[in-house]
Copies of this chain bind each other. A is one copy, B any other.
Amino acid sequence: MAGNTYGTIFKLTTFGESHGKAIGGIIDGCPAGLEIDFDAIQRDLDRRKPGQSKIVTQRKEPDTVDFLSGIFEEKTTGTPIGFQIVNTNQKSKDYGHIKDTYRPSHADYTYDKKYGNRDYRGGGRSSARETASRVVAGAIAKQFLKGITFHAFTSAVGDLSMDTPYQELDFNEIEKNDVRCADPAFAKACEEKIKVIKKQGDTIGGVITCVIQNVPIGLGEPVFDKLHAELGKAMLSINAVKGFEYGSGFEGAKMKGSDHNDYFNNDGTTKTNLSGGVQGGISNGMDIYFKVAFKPVATVMQKQETINAAGETVEMQGKGRHDPCVVPRAVPIVEAMAALVIADFVLRDKSVRL
């Protein structure tokens, strides 16, 4: 109920604040007998971690995950997988100056009003640091989903947008540039843009596209838990996300039915895929693809006026080491959430027919 759990059978519950002792979680419901590739998990964590390139925050955190249970002799046992990532950056620095200050477009104000008691060091629970736990669980979900591939990449930074159909992209390019885009030229342009923005002490939004391939037919539960509805929720639950569309998306709303319909080939595949791999909330075996919009980071390195808990106007200046654009580091988070969604539906689908 308190919203810290994702999934129904393959379930992740996370805990932890940005400046507490540790963050972590419990994965409950991962099937027994899965061999775990620990290096692959760490690789995904490294793709998310701060300090990895010049266009992300320069904070240094190793983000090493420690598994406490549920894995024995490198295989899952079917019991809950407890894990933690110790917060090494948990300095005893003075947070007095922000204790009572509500940063604009952050969650300080709403947390205070909702809970009446807030861990004001950094973002506390509202910090995107929590997503490291999602990346751990998502990496395990991917291993469970062997054969299904998840490729997310940056498709827009600010007003720079890449419209090459994903079929024409080489996903191997994604990890070759700091922006995580499958198109090297576009990646270059984005990188330049982010550097300019950073120099201005400002931040910029962006869009991530995600493609899931080799999805079995039949995933998703119609009515309320449609496959794309769960994907949408999962994406919208990532910090800074403002929008989600799949298949033809908002463009599809402009079309006529006769143009929008995906006609069948005789093997059940479709000639076009404006449906985005989902029909009636259920996967049809075609590629699933969707877009996720991220707003610009709220912490800018500029002076801003805001209010404090007493309602007085105060001046604040963002300090520290923040991301000028979250999109490059959000790529593995999008993949992780997509993997959690698909893993849960794969398990849900097991009870559907005799």
**Copies of this chain, count:** 4
Measured between C-beta atoms, what is the minimum distance from A181 to chain B in Å? 15
A283: chain B residues within 8 A (beta carbon): 110
A65: chain B residues within 8 A (beta carbon): none
Could you tell me if B205 and A293 are in contact, using CB atoms closer than 8 angstroms?
no
A20: chain B residues within 8 A (beta carbon): 68-69, 72
Encoded as 1 (CB less than 8 Å from any B CB) or 0, chain A from 1 to 45 comes to 111111011110111110011111110110111100000000000
Cα of A206 to Cα of B9 in the assembled complex, Å: 35
CB under 8 Å from chain B, chain A span 37-72: 66-70, 72
Cα of A296 to Cα of B251 in the assembled complex, Å: 11
Whether a CB of chain B sits under 8 angstroms from the CB of A88 is no
Chain A residues with a Cβ closer than 8 Å to the other chain, count: 151
Whether a CB of chain B sits under 8 angstroms from the CB of A255 is yes
Could you tell me if A282 and B244 are in contact, using CB atoms closer than 8 angstroms?
no
* Pick from B106, B220, B293: contact of A253, CB under 8 Å: B293
* Pick from B76, B159, B284: contact of A117, CB under 8 Å: B76
Question: From A350, which residue of chain B is reached at the shortest CB distance?
Answer: B350
CB under 8 Å from chain B, chain A span 257-314: 257-268, 270, 274-276, 279-284, 291, 293-300, 302, 304-307, 311-313
* Pick from B125, B158, B307: contact of A79, CB under 8 Å: B125
Q: Which of A164-172, A183-191, A230-238 contacts B (4 or more CB under 8 A)?
A: A230-238
Could you tell me if A3 and B225 are in contact, using CB atoms closer than 8 angstroms?
yes
* Pick from B257, B262, B280, B304: contact of A296, CB under 8 Å: B257
Whether a CB of chain B sits under 8 angstroms from the CB of A248 is yes
Could you tell me if B114 and A352 are in contact, using CB atoms closer than 8 angstroms?
yes
Whether a CB of chain B sits under 8 angstroms from the CB of A119 is yes
* Pick from B68, B79, B113: contact of A218, CB under 8 Å: B113
A354: chain B residues within 8 A (beta carbon): 31-34
Could you tell me if B261 and A14 are in contact, using CB atoms closer than 8 angstroms?
no
Whether a CB of chain B sits under 8 angstroms from the CB of A347 is yes
Could you tell me if B80 and A119 are in contact, using CB atoms closer than 8 angstroms?
no
Could you tell me if B260 and A205 are in contact, using CB atoms closer than 8 angstroms?
yes
Measured between C-beta atoms, what is the minimum distance from A321 to chain B in Å? 15
Cα of A311 to Cα of B279 in the assembled complex, Å: 18
Whether a CB of chain B sits under 8 angstroms from the CB of A221 is yes
Given contacts A124-B77, A158-B255, A236-B228, contact A223 B130 (CB under 8 A): yes
Whether a CB of chain B sits under 8 angstroms from the CB of A176 is no
Encoded as 1 (CB less than 8 Å from any B CB) or 0, chain A from 114 to 155 comes to 111111000011100010000000000000000000000000
Whether a CB of chain B sits under 8 angstroms from the CB of A204 is yes
25 A-B contact pairs sorted by A residue (CB < 8 Å): A1-B348, A6-B224, A15-B69, A22-B68, A31-B354, A77-B125, A82-B84, A102-B264, A104-B262, A110-B280, A110-B284, A113-B218, A113-B282, A126-B280, A204-B256, A205-B252, A207-B250, A224-B234, A229-B232, A229-B237, A236-B244, A242-B253, A257-B296, A263-B304, A264-B307
